[in-house]
Structure 1
Amino acid sequence: MSVTTTPVRPAAPLVELELTVTGAPDEEEGPVTGARLVYRGPELQEVSVITVEEEVPYRVDFRLPWPDWLHRVVEENRPPTEEEERRRVADILARSYDGRPLDELREEHAAHHLEAAAALLAARDATPAPACPCLPFQRYGCGHCRHTDCQNPDCGHCPCKCRCR
């Protein structure tokens, strides 16, 4: 039986933030010392309040009310959307190359910075190429390996001939 998988869409990585919180009202479990937020892309996956005694999880579907301060912490630490990140990078490019923020540029000139920002972010998110172009067993049945000699030195017919050496 052969199992084939195909990604439906690229999964955004999980981002876990642990924050120190001061000045928040105490929970039933004790004084609040921090908060833990877990995002997948811009979407909140988990939220917990850290007290002196334990970590108190809150539901992310808002069925139970959250304290007001926790809403502010979650909103202030939300990762940017792809569009917000693209505009942020384009603004940096505009300030560096034109000496003015992106919003002050003509639309057709700002479009070049937005396009460059999209290309930079795509290159950042691209899967990095392996350091060695060779894969185990790619060339030799003896188990040729990355950056070292053959894993089976008794095979008698090959030293590693990896081009990256």
Structure 2
Amino acid sequence: MQDSSFFYKLTGRVVVQNMDSVIVSTQSNNAFIFLPNLSPKLENKMVKTILYKVDTVLYKHRLLNAYKEVNDRQKYYLEYVFFDKLSSIPISSFGRYPIFIGISGSTGQLYTKSKMRYIKSYLFNQLNFYSNIEKTPFQKFVFHIMVVLKIIKNYWYRRLGLC
């Protein structure tokens, strides 16, 4: 870390299928995936920690000791700590959305997505939803449409007994 101006961190039991294109398409020394919350009642308060690219100075000053603030009993996980540490700085996401393959170290769940979910992730990434940079009116409009569509989908899933 001392000899580099930035580094990538990837969770140990995960591979990024398109890592070459993720690296080539990401110009910033800081790239995180801020998760957009499609619930109208909740705010975006989480950063994916599966993969990130970070400037070593930023890491040393804001994230190195973030694990000390984690409180599992109060459900204040590292993803929330990272959000709190980074939310005041404009940070972009990756130029290309990473395709994860592997197993979550904390939950044991497989990282697999349907083609529709990858398309959604790709669109969200292209619309800059995975960054904490201020959104344009168009981006906000599209995001609100997504919220409405999710509410409708959840309504019909419950109504038809599919969930």
Please state which band the TM-score falls in when normalised by the shorter chain.
under 0.3
Q: TM-score, normalised by structure 2?
A: 0.25
Q: TM-score, normalised by structure 1?
A: 0.24
Q: Relative to total residues, which structure has the larger helix share, 1 or 2? A: 2
**Which of 1 and 2 has higher RCO (CA within 8 Å, sep 6+)?**
2
